[in-house]
Structure 1
Amino acid sequence: MSHLLAIDVGTLSARAGLFDREGQLLASASASFELLTPAEHHAVYRMDDIWQAVCRASTDCLAQHPELASSVAGLAFDATSSLYIEAEGDAPLDGGGDVICWMDHRGEAEAAEIDATGHRFLDHVGGSLSPETNLPKLLWLKRHRPAAWARVTGARDLCDELARRATDTDRHSVCGLGCKWPYLPGEAEPWCQDLLDRLGIGELTALGHLGEKPGKVGEVHGVVSASASAALGIPWGIPVAIGLIDAEAGALGVLGRDYQARMNNLLPMIGGSSTCYMPFASDARHVSGVWGPFRDAVFPGYWMHEAGQSLSGTALDAVLNHHPASPGKASGTLHLQTAERILKLLDEEGASFAATRHIVPDWLGNRAPLGDGRVRALATGIGPETGERSFLEAYYATARALALQTRQILEHLNAHGGYAFDSVALAGGHLHNPLLVQLYRDAIGARLIVSDAREPVLLGTAMVAAVAAGFHADLFGSLEAMAPEQKVLDPDPYWQQAHDAAYRIYLTLFKTRNEIEIAGRALGALPSAQLSGAL
């Protein structure tokens, strides 16, 4: 019997999963790598570190079933929307890195400059370009590190660089190009070359193979090379799929069977370090404050939006890492213990627990519905308390804010995107946090759907590998054959009512924060006292 290997590269680790043709996970393993932060708003990696972690995860996974390694018939990668920079000589990034992490915000000023052009490309990113996309980062690199830029010979989405290392073939995925670059797959001339020329970075499309037609997700990128075969522990010559971004893989893993009939009603949600909401449609819909529409991002001929929260799981990590009463640094065990302590207090105290602690959870900008990477969070109810209860309230207020903003995003998509979402399918690490699952069940204003898939992101990537291996004609075929069983979690009426009240508070805070942001920017635009002649 043939099997599939899926590899997912997240923010801090690589994971590998071995699947059978029906989508059952037989083994999995993970390996970590280092995230470097050489300056404020800079986050980078070393690509060799990531590749070594990928190889460790793969070999550790296959070691659990060594008799099956030779039966692997297809491989696919997903990865965060991080950006690999190929350059001659030394590493091109500060700190010795050559990969810019997805959450790097060095390009905030460049993103605002692109917004000011009013280019039609902005209609495909919700009207405002996020600094988390690739163009602002590359503009920053060219302008602030010109010597390093002069040595750059290529730039690839992380999933494409992983496939290149596995095959020695340099190709790009339309998923990455269409979602993170000024590239419009539905047009005869997809690159927005006039925008690049206007910004002074017109040479970008001549780097490497960026100017060539990209592959669609699930097509064959190449075959496993002899060196990669030895490093990954899989057969030489098997097909490697054109890959995809990790959020898109997670969406595939939770959509379920008969998805085409439910497309306008089911919202896939992938909760990890960040959270992504990934609706699909057969037509192009332009929604303010929401990235997209992106054609061919996953399903050829279909359009995708991506709404999101830049820091979600990472925000909960921060409470554990920085609160004076935290039991320790963030870990899966401490998240679970903290969630269980809070759930016990909620059972005892009801909605009175942390009733005045509320947050607008935009620690690294707002992806949706505002679409502004410069705004920041707003919190209420903060006092001098530093004890255990203060810690638990801070954790709960953060988690509740994430759920309430999820409701706001869903309502925004329904009101402005022609969707009719009444169900949300959850994937990712948030499934392992019982407090988050309960909040999503009760607070988002829609039915929460969960599946029995232990690793839905890896499952989605295995579906992609299945197409490259020839098991299925397309991704819809993989979905029908490999999707897990799903179940609906019904909301608790008491907590549904309580979170309705909290949502009204959240909306008030959101409006107030936006007003403060506008006023603050006006204040910041005033000339200095010296320039104005006041001194």
Structure 2
Amino acid sequence: MVHPHSRSHTSIPTRRSSFFNTPIVPPQPDVYYVGVDVGTGSARACIIDTNGIILGLAERPITRHELKPNHITQNSTEIWNAICFCVKACLRDSGVDPAEVFGIGFDATCSLVVISESGDEPVGVGPNFWDNKENIILWMDHRAEEATNEINATGDKCLKYVGGQMSIEMELPKIKWLKHNLPGGISDCKFYDLPDYLIHKATGSEARSFCSAVCKQGFVPPGVEGSETGWSKDFLLSVDLPELVEDDFRRLGGTPGKNGNFLSAGDIVGKLTAHAAEELGLTTECIVGSPVIDAYAGWVGTVAGKADVPHLQDNADGSIDLTCGRLAAVAGTSTCHIAMTKEPCFVKGVWGPYKDVMAPGFWLAEGGQSMTGALLAHVLSIHPASQELIRSAEASNLSKFDFLNLTLENLVQETGSRSVVSLAKHMFFYGDFHGNRSPIADPRMRASIIGQSMDSSVNDLAIQYFAACEFIAQQTRQIVEEMQNSGHDISCIYMSGGQCRNGLLMRLLADCTGLPIIIPRYIDAAVVFGAALLGAVAAEDSVNEHINSKGRSRRNSVLQSQKSQVSLSHDSGAHSPYTAPSATASTTNMSTLVYASANAGSHHQFPVMTPMEEEQVDYFNQSTQQQIDEREKAKNQSFTSDDDSEDEQTLSFGSKQAVQQGLSSKFSKLGLKPLTSLKKTTSNSSNPSSGIAVPGDKLWKVMDKMTGPGKVIFPAADSDPDRSLLNAKYKIFLEQCFKQQEYRDIVDEVEAKNSKIN
């Protein structure tokens, strides 16, 4: 039952005359959506309203085991329990009535989940096969090297759509390994990508997502290259997997239109089962949207962000076509680069093109850098001044990266250098320590650094750190150029993840690529926010029916009989650091985020940085004095709290930096419950007057409505001295990249001759 003190009882007239008073459409019944994100190390959930405002966010860690080298496993039961905990925590902390949650969406890592067909229970995947709890082979598990090589040796046409060869991290190599190692074989097994397993757990459905099947399992959508069933019987037989062919591929989800249901992002899967609803603290009227792999949820949660970039202002056709050319860079330990096209574009070293993943008839490509966040951490950890940096940063009450950025700025003054970029003009850093995924797809690539000295000071560490950031930006340029040369028309980059806070790195990305970099409203929560949007897409028709009937829909009568059964009780007690909603300073004024921004005809001014403005600040500073003054002015006109906190008035949620309370606590202090501004809308189409819906229109409409404004970092002018220097160093970067391959070939040729002599 909902806690009585967690809900606002303020009347609608009172709320409308409050701080949020804005001449918008009359408020409609309150409607909310839940998003669930399962990463490698934690599960997260958020709850949003119909304006895309995150009202609660929770996170809980999940474990992984490596009992044998390259055998990395997880537990689907633990993951589901963590999800349930997080969803209930969001409901409790936001004060939202579970009956008002209309939709839920899921994303997760592309890990293989193994379930018994006979009992629908977990099956152990080894190395301890008796342990059925460990039934997930994690995406990063590399046990199936031999199986991967055998699959790639077939040269099947499906490989053309996964970058020319399957990765060891994809699903089929893992299944093939299990066939030959699992006691008793796979005769009683069915297989899911983790996102698809979560919707099975939530709905009981055997539906599969195009995202998982196409991107990670070798599924070629019907109509592509003559495919009729999606799965290839000849291919699966050629790799000794006849079990997967049985009964029209039932173990993989079946054949589309026959015994299988394959869905694009946000399509309706079904409603929560009674058991799942009880575990999640929701109701059986909550609609589940088709899931996506986690990085793709980052695309959903960012690329509709509003920004003062001229070519992004033209959205008259209201179609998902508008996302073509917007590259989503989902950054963390590594970075994924995702872009949509209307026609298939084959790019060397880039996975895909994948059809129907987001919307029927559209194609997605996925590039990536194997180390970005991990690269910066590595560079800091191996330098002799690593411990000195930690002590100095702690003493200054700064993060290590902020301290290094400050050190670089001081070095410019001390050395009389022209700029921060020129400090590292003779440092040539190529950072593929862990191989290259894109654009040359060479796992043998390694790092090379030219220009090192015996200097072991923090100053030297700062310059090497800068060089690593420069490498990340130059390699992003290399990926973008390969995509553009192959038919993509990339016009801007939408970033997400904690790296967005590093102004130095963001500025380098803009100046190296020559493209605007757009930072989202929710820096840390872009992925889980994207998952919530999938729930909103699936529930759209139900919401419109509810609005039109003024809350007297069939849904409400069903809910009345369930209300007493919904429980939000928690046996786990107080929040852990992983579950407490938190927020960090971002860039958009809170008054813009809340209901004043719901007026469809309003015009927003989004914070941007031009090269001229940046002359007022250092190279990596993200705010001009004018912007600081504007934020201070807005702050004085906005919330005041009992504790006189100096919170920024805009929020990006994430438990990684809990520096202020969540937005839901501000609502609680004011005694307010958010109002929605839903309006009945008709389907968009390429010809609005025709009334014919086009593929992806629901997804785009929800993304466009709920994704808030972002901050823009524009590249400096082409003639800018730093741009000129970075362009010159890009040529050296490319030479370092390809010369390494040439050097290896020279040595390998000699060694091949030597082996024959011996």
Q: State whether TM-score is above 0.5.
A: yes
Question: What is the CA–CA distance in structure 2 between the aligned matches of 1:389 and 1:426, rounded to whole Å?
Answer: 29
Alignment equivalent of 2:143, drawn from 106, 111, 129: 106
Counterpart of 1:483 in structure 2 is: 707
Residue pair 2:352, 2:364 contacting (<8 A) in 1 also: yes
Alpha carbons of structure 1 residues 516 and 197: separation in structure 2 relative to 1, 3 Å:
farther
Counterpart of 1:451 in structure 2 is: 520
Q: Deviations over 1:223-268 (max 9, x none)?
A: 2233322332222341111111111111111212737454443222
Give the C-alpha shift of residue 31 in structure 1.
1.2
Residue pair 2:424, 2:467 contacting (<8 A) in 1 also: yes
What secondary structure is seen at the aligned counterpart in 2 of 1:279? strand
Residue pair 1:12, 1:32 contacting (<8 A) in 2 also: yes
Q: Does 1:268 align with 2:328?
A: yes
Q: Does 1:427 align with 2:533?
A: no
Q: How does 1:360-371 map to 2 (within 5 A)?
A: 360-371=430-441
Residue pair 1:130, 1:367 contacting (<8 A) in 2 also: no
Q: Does 1:159 align with 2:383?
A: no
Residue pair 2:189, 2:251 contacting (<8 A) in 1 also: yes
Give the C-alpha shift of residue 326 in structure 1.
3.3
Alpha carbons of structure 1 residues 164 and 314: separation in structure 2 relative to 1, 3 Å:
farther
Residue pair 1:172, 1:214 contacting (<8 A) in 2 also: yes
Counterpart of 2:733 in structure 1 is: 506
Q: Does 1:184 align with 2:220?
A: yes
Give the C-alpha shift of residue 146 in structure 1.
4.3
Question: What is the CA–CA distance in structure 2 between the aligned matches of 1:56 and 1:106, rounded to whole Å?
Answer: 32
Q: How does 1:294-305 map to 2 (within 5 A)?
A: 294-305=354-365
Question: What is the CA–CA distance in structure 2 between the aligned matches of 1:56 and 1:456, rounded to whole Å?
Answer: 20
Q: How does 1:384-395 map to 2 (within 5 A)?
A: 388-389=458-459, 391-395=461-465
The structure whose Rg is larger is 2
Q: How does 1:9-20 map to 2 (within 5 A)?
A: 9-20=38-49
Alpha carbons of structure 1 residues 343 and 177: separation in structure 2 relative to 1, 3 Å:
same
What secondary structure is seen at the aligned counterpart in 1 of 2:142? coil
Question: What is the CA–CA distance in structure 2 between the aligned matches of 1:477 and 1:151, rounded to whole Å?
Answer: 44
Alignment equivalent of 1:197, drawn from 212, 237, 242: 237
Question: What is the CA–CA distance in structure 2 between the aligned matches of 1:372 and 1:520, rounded to whole Å?
Answer: 17
Give the C-alpha shift of residue 510 in structure 1.
0.7
Counterpart of 1:45 in structure 2 is: 74
Residue pair 1:47, 1:84 contacting (<8 A) in 2 also: yes
Consecutive unaligned residues in structure 1, runs of 5 or more: none
What secondary structure is seen at the aligned counterpart in 1 of 2:107? strand
Give the C-alpha shift of residue 52 in structure 1.
2.6
Question: What is the CA–CA distance in structure 1 between the aligned matches of 2:451 and 2:72, rounded to whole Å?
Answer: 31
Bigger drift between 37-46 and 340-349 goes to: 37-46
Bigger drift between 490-499 and 124-133 goes to: 490-499
Q: How does 1:116-131 map to 2 (within 5 A)?
A: 116-131=153-168
Alignment equivalent of 1:340, drawn from 393, 396, 402: 402
Question: What is the CA–CA distance in structure 1 between the aligned matches of 2:529 and 2:740, rounded to whole Å?
Answer: 39
Residue pair 2:331, 2:373 contacting (<8 A) in 1 also: yes
Counterpart of 1:236 in structure 2 is: 284
Question: What is the CA–CA distance in structure 2 between the aligned matches of 1:524 and 1:231, rounded to whole Å?
Answer: 61
Residue pair 1:85, 1:152 contacting (<8 A) in 2 also: no
Question: What is the CA–CA distance in structure 2 between the aligned matches of 1:329 and 1:221, rounded to whole Å?
Answer: 51
Counterpart of 2:575 in structure 1 is: none
Q: How does 1:122-141 map to 2 (within 5 A)?
A: 122-141=159-178
Give the C-alpha shift of residue 338 in structure 1.
1.9
Give the C-alpha shift of residue 11 in structure 1.
1.9
Alignment equivalent of 2:301, drawn from 250, 253, 265: 253
Consecutive unaligned residues in structure 2, runs of 5 or more: 1-29, 255-259, 307-314, 413-419, 545-682, 684-697
Give the C-alpha shift of residue 75 in structure 1.
0.6
Higher RCO structure, 1 or 2 (CA under 8 Å, sep 6+): 2
Question: What is the CA–CA distance in structure 2 between the aligned matches of 1:343 and 1:435, rounded to whole Å?
Answer: 7
Give the C-alpha shift of residue 198 in structure 1.
1.1
| Structure 1 counterpart of 2:280, one-letter code | L
Residue pair 2:515, 2:714 contacting (<8 A) in 1 also: no
Q: Does 1:437 align with 2:478?
A: no
Give the C-alpha shift of residue 464 in structure 1.
1.0
Alpha carbons of structure 1 residues 395 and 512: separation in structure 2 relative to 1, 3 Å:
same
Alpha carbons of structure 1 residues 264 and 165: separation in structure 2 relative to 1, 3 Å:
closer
Question: What is the CA–CA distance in structure 1 between the aligned matches of 2:122 and 2:443, rounded to whole Å?
Answer: 33
Counterpart of 2:12 in structure 1 is: none
Question: What is the CA–CA distance in structure 1 between the aligned matches of 2:70 and 2:451, rounded to whole Å?
Answer: 28
Counterpart of 1:208 in structure 2 is: 251
Question: What is the CA–CA distance in structure 1 between the aligned matches of 2:47 and 2:153, rounded to whole Å?
Answer: 47
Q: Deviations over 1:306-352 (max 9, x none)?
A: 1111232233344455555435999xx99971221222233233234
Question: What is the CA–CA distance in structure 1 between the aligned matches of 2:79 and 2:455, rounded to whole Å?
Answer: 41
Residue pair 1:128, 1:371 contacting (<8 A) in 2 also: no
Question: What is the CA–CA distance in structure 2 between the aligned matches of 1:290 and 1:209, rounded to whole Å?
Answer: 25
Residue pair 1:271, 1:313 contacting (<8 A) in 2 also: yes
Question: What is the CA–CA distance in structure 1 between the aligned matches of 2:502 and 2:155, rounded to whole Å?
Answer: 41
Q: Does 1:174 align with 2:210?
A: yes
Alignment equivalent of 1:460, drawn from 516, 523, 530: 530
Give the C-alpha shift of residue 67 in structure 1.
3.7
Counterpart of 1:280 in structure 2 is: 340
Residue pair 1:128, 1:289 contacting (<8 A) in 2 also: no
Aligned length, in residue pairs: 527
Alpha carbons of structure 1 residues 513 and 533: separation in structure 2 relative to 1, 3 Å:
closer
What secondary structure is seen at the aligned counterpart in 2 of 1:178? helix
Counterpart of 2:95 in structure 1 is: 66
Alpha carbons of structure 1 residues 235 and 495: separation in structure 2 relative to 1, 3 Å:
farther
Question: What is the CA–CA distance in structure 2 between the aligned matches of 1:467 and 1:292, rounded to whole Å?
Answer: 25
Question: What is the CA–CA distance in structure 2 between the aligned matches of 1:153 and 1:319, rounded to whole Å?
Answer: 44
- Counting aligned pairs with the same residue, the percent is 31
Question: What is the CA–CA distance in structure 2 between the aligned matches of 1:21 and 1:191, rounded to whole Å?
Answer: 38
Alpha carbons of structure 1 residues 62 and 377: separation in structure 2 relative to 1, 3 Å:
farther
Give the C-alpha shift of residue 19 in structure 1.
0.6
Alpha carbons of structure 1 residues 180 and 513: separation in structure 2 relative to 1, 3 Å:
same
Give the C-alpha shift of residue 465 in structure 1.
0.6
Alpha carbons of structure 1 residues 94 and 319: separation in structure 2 relative to 1, 3 Å:
farther
Counterpart of 2:268 in structure 1 is: 220
Residue pair 1:125, 1:291 contacting (<8 A) in 2 also: yes
